[in-house]
């Protein structure tokens, strides 16, 4: 049997990390069945947002990098569509794997569906019900251009049903007769796989940051609402600095370049104060193994990231989310994720309550068994008639 050609489209940090779960599962269990090719859109291009993950996670390297870089939504997405289409027509893959909800996901969905390549959407069905979020538009459009949709949670699965997707559809599947699955989350596959390795390989990181195990708070901020809205950025960071001082607890903050750029350009004085505050560890983005170690060893997490929210749950850490809403509603219902928006009072209240031990928190297994990538690949084989 000749190998089936799968094409991954990635572009942003979390997609490279997610694709590593699929890449690993192909290498370990499906290497005879699938030939994997990867197209990198170039949406993320700094080493610490891109190359570092290919190196560290031993992922199939991009066969193509169409190098679009940063631009406005329309321009960036248009350049991606053009570049992806060219590669699709040359490579003619059996199907196209898309991850998450970035502009690279949307561009992949448009390019592939219009040229009649089946789209497989991994992390389908998530909704914030806030269409002012660029990611919400990307999710809805990508789901509706897909043939196989892998929803990581029952809430995501229900969202798809509410939008007219029918679980009872039977093969042959197509864009007009799509198949929806309730799977686990491939990010959980990764966190399970890399948790021990992170301790072994990156254990010295805590010393180099001068922080103690279980005695620091991990913070990430990168969403457009929190970085482009200067008032929100100022409120969040000045509140966090004040809380670090009041509590004498260290905050470790690997900052996305978007956040650092906005601080430097719009809030230079605050940026200077943050750098001078010895309790705050403002550092460049870290590798996935370093991030995993920080998540495992922190006291709790403050973030606006989708992925980091879930990882907080994987490592049984409570989490404050700097947004009004989240797609991962099971975490909020569970009481371990608190939505604090950019509200100083809510941030303060939750900060001090999370500093106290919460022996009563429980972390049920919402995200599968750590073998979601294998499940997805098996279903792709059925779909392609090769199982």
Which residues here bind ligand UDP, judged by CB under 6 A?
13-14, 17, 220, 222, 254, 285-286, 288, 291, 305-308, 311
Residue 218 binds which entry of ligand UD1, ligand UDP, none, with Cβ cut-offs from 5 to 8 Å by kind?
none
Q: Residue 257 or residue 344: which is nearer to ligand UD1 going by CB? A: 257
Using omega within 30 degrees of 0 as the cis cutoff, is the peptide bond preceding 78 cis?
no
Q: Is residue 222 involved in binding ligand UD1 (CB under 6 A)?
A: yes
Cα distances (Å, whole numbers) of residue 21 to 59, 153, 190, 268, 382: 9, 17, 6, 39, 20
- Residue 62 per-residue DSSP state: P
Q: Please report, as residue ranges, which positions from 253 to 282 form the binding site for ligand UD1 (by CB under 6 A).
A: 256-258, 261
Select from ligand UDP, ligand UD1, none the partner in contact with residue 254, using the beta carbon and a kind-dependent cut-off of 5 to 8 Å.
ligand UDP
When asked if residue 12 is in the footprint of ligand UD1 (CB under 6 A), the reply is: yes
In sequence order, the β-bridge partners of residue 84 are none
13 binds ligand UD1 (CB under 6 A): yes
DSSP H helices, 222-305, are: 224-227, 230-247, 257-266, 268-276, 288-297
User: What is the chain's length?
Assistant: 387
- Catalytic residue from among 222, 256, 313, 358: 222
CA dihedral 178, 83, 59, 3 (to 10 degrees): 60
Closer to ligand UD1 at the Cβ: 123 or 135?
A: 135
**Residue 232 contact partner, candidates ligand UDP, ligand UD1, none, CB within 5 to 8 A by sort of partner:** none
Between strands 119-122 and 216-220, the pairing is unpaired
Q: In whole angstroms, what is the distance from residue 378 CA to residue 274 CA?
A: 49
- Of the two residues 8 and 103, which places its CB atom closer to ligand UD1 in the complex? 103
Is the Cβ–Cβ distance between 279 and 250 less than 8 Å?
A: yes
| Known catalytic membership, residue 222 | yes
CB of 46 to ligand UD1, least distance (A): 4
Task: Please choose which of ligand UD1, ligand UDP, none residue 368 contacts, taking the beta carbon within 5 to 8 angstroms, the exact cut-off set by kind.
Answer: none
Which residues participate in catalysis according to the annotation?
Answer: 222
């Amino acid at each position: 049997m000749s190998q089936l050609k799968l094409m991954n489209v990635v572009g942003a940090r979390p997609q490279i990390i997610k694709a590593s779960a699929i890449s690993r599962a192909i290498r370990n269990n499906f290497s005879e069945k699938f030939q994997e090719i990867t197209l990198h859109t170039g949406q993320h291009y700094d080493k610490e947002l891109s190359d570092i993950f290919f190196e560290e996670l031993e992922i199939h390297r991009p066969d193509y990098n169409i190098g679009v870089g940063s631009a406005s939504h329309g321009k960036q997405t248009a350049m991606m569509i053009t570049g992806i289409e060219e590669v699709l027509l040359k490579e003619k893959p059996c199907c196209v794997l898309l991850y998450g909800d970035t502009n690279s996901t949307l561009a992949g969905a448009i390019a592939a569906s219009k040229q009649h390549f089946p789209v497989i959407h991994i992390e389908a069905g998530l909704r914030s019900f806030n269409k002012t979020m660029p990611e919400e538009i990307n999710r809805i459009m990508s789901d509706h251009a897909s043939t196989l949709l892998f929803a990581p949670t029952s809430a995501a699965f229900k969202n798809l049903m509410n939008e007219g997707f029918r679980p009872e559809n039977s093969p042959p599947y197509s864009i007009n007769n799509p198949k929806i699955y309730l799977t686990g989350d491939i990010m959980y596959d990764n966190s399970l796989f890399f948790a021990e390795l992170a301790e072994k390989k990156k254990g010295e990181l805590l010393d180099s940051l001068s922080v103690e195990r279980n005695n620091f708070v991990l913070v990430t901020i990168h969403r457009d609402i929190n970085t482009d809205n200067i008032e929100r950025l100022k409120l969040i960071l000045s509140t966090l600095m004040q809380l670090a001082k009041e509590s004498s607890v260290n905050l470790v903050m690997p900052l996305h370049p978007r956040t650092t750029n906005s601080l430097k350009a719009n809030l230079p004085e605050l940026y200077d104060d943050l750098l001078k505050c010895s309790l705050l560890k403002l550092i460049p983005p870290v590798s996935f193994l370093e991030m995993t170690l920080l998540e495992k060893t922190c006291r709790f997490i403050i973030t606006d990231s989708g992925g980091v929210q879930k990882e907080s749950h994987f490592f049984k850490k409570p989490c404050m989310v700097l947004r009004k809403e989240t797609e991962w509603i099971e975490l909020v219902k569970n009481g371990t994720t608190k939505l604090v928006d950019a509200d100083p009072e809510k941030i303060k209240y939750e900060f001090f309550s999370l500093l106290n031990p919460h022996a009563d928190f429980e972390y049920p297994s919402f995200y599968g068994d750590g073998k979601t990538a294998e499940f997805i690949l098996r279903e792709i084989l059925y779909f392609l008639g090769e199982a």
